Amino acid sequence: MNINELPTPAVVLDYDSLQKNIATMAAIHPGRRLRPHVKAHKCSGIAALQVAAGHNSFTCATPREILGLIDAGVGSDFLLANEVLDHSRLSALADAQNDALITVAIDSDATLAAAVKAGIRSVIIDVNVGLPRCGIDPKSAGELADAARSHGMDVRGVMGYEGHLMMVTDRDAKKQQVHDAMALLASAHSDVGGDIVSAGGTGTHDLFAGTTVNEVQAGSYVLMDTQYAQLGYSFVQAMWVIGTVISTNEKWSVIDVGLKSLGMDHGNPSIKDHSVWFCSDEHITFAANEGTAKPIAGERVFVTPAHIDPTMAMHEVAYVANIYGDIVDEWPIDLRGW
């Protein structure tokens, strides 16, 4: 099958670009220095390529991601970098602890109690390093770690996510702010102990020299999107949502890709050599730039999402293509849901 034969909208991955991105990051953070975040792609097929590149530990946003990777036989060390209070979900992770090393983030007495009740053996202390989201105050991290150890838990270390700094464009200012955030994490680690100091994302992956961080949780680098492309890293776009032109007008065209197949929280998607006017539930209205031929009905169009993570989660399968546009594989996006 060729791209032109796919039912649309469809997620298409360029295999060579995907492998290039994985190799580029593995050269920067080899082996256990990288704990890839699977929330970006939610696909065990992509995770298997990351394992082949030397990464056997993964960051996960949901219990489903962990259990799905275990079921697929991909990876061996999983960090749930998210607070969970649901007993049934935590118990499912506890039941899988003999199949893999599973570590759960905690940031409060409530999340600790939930993990204890479910029988979780290993935890990591989630520390607030500046993003107003989850994470305990660095000054209280040691006390929470002591409480976890009093229940017989293995406290593996600390994690912190400086997500508020991912898109800072002034590199010198960004580096200083990242180091300031990591100083908070290092202070907490001195009270908590453990072997892990985990942080980072695609937007800060290369700024940890001189810090105590020993594993980086980057995820979006594998597929990329228009937001991270603004930072000028050497990662290339490896994923698109393919649409079909279903209507044309003298001034604009319409494809069958819309809000229900794209993550829109980072703004409109892009179409090369065209201007996106707006997105509707099932449509994108766009126009050819000057000097570009207007597409015709039935033509396939490559849409680059602004935010890869929610876009992937909206689709059931990713079609893997070669440079000729031939579909060489189909990978289920099998880690969706909680």
Residue by residue, DSSP assigns 29-59 as S-GGGB--BGGGT--HHHHHHHHHTT--EEE
Distance of CA 206 to the CA centre of its chain: 17
Q: What's residue 115's pLDDT?
A: 98
| Res 215: pLDDT | 98
Residue identified by tokens 């946003």 is 61
Tell me what pLDDT residue 307 has.
98
Contact 243, 8 (CB under 8 A): yes
Model pLDDT, residue 241:
98
| pLDDT value at residue 38 | 98
Q: Which of 56, 66, 55 shows the shortest CA–CA distance to 96?
A: 66
In sequence order, the β-bridge partners of residue 80 are 60, 104
Residue type, 70: I
- Provide CATH 2.40.37.20 ranges for the chain: 3-11+234-332
17-220 under CATH 3.90.850.10, yes or no: no
pTM of the model: 0.96
Q: What is the CA radius of gyration of the chain?
A: 21
pLDDT value of residue 9? 98
3-11+234-332: which CATH architecture?
Beta Barrel (2.40)
CATH 3.20.20.10 residue ranges in the chain?
A: 17-220
Would you tell me how many other CB atoms lie within 10 Å of the CB of residue 229? 15
Does an H or E element contain 166, and which? none
Output the pLDDT for position 309: 97
pLDDT tens for each residue of the chain, 338 residues long: 999 999 999 999 999 999 999 999 999 999 999 999 999 999 999 999 999 999 999 999 999 999 999 999 999 999 999 999 999 999 999 999 999 999 999 999 999 999 999 999 999 999 999 999 999 999 999 999 999 999 999 999 999 999 999 999 999 999 999 999 999 999 999 999 999 999 999 999 999 999 999 999 999 999 999 999 999 999 999 999 999 999 999 999 999 999 999 999 999 999 999 999 999 999 999 999 999 999 999 999 999 999 999 999 999 999 999 999 999 999 999 999 98
Contact 230, 264 (CB under 8 A): no
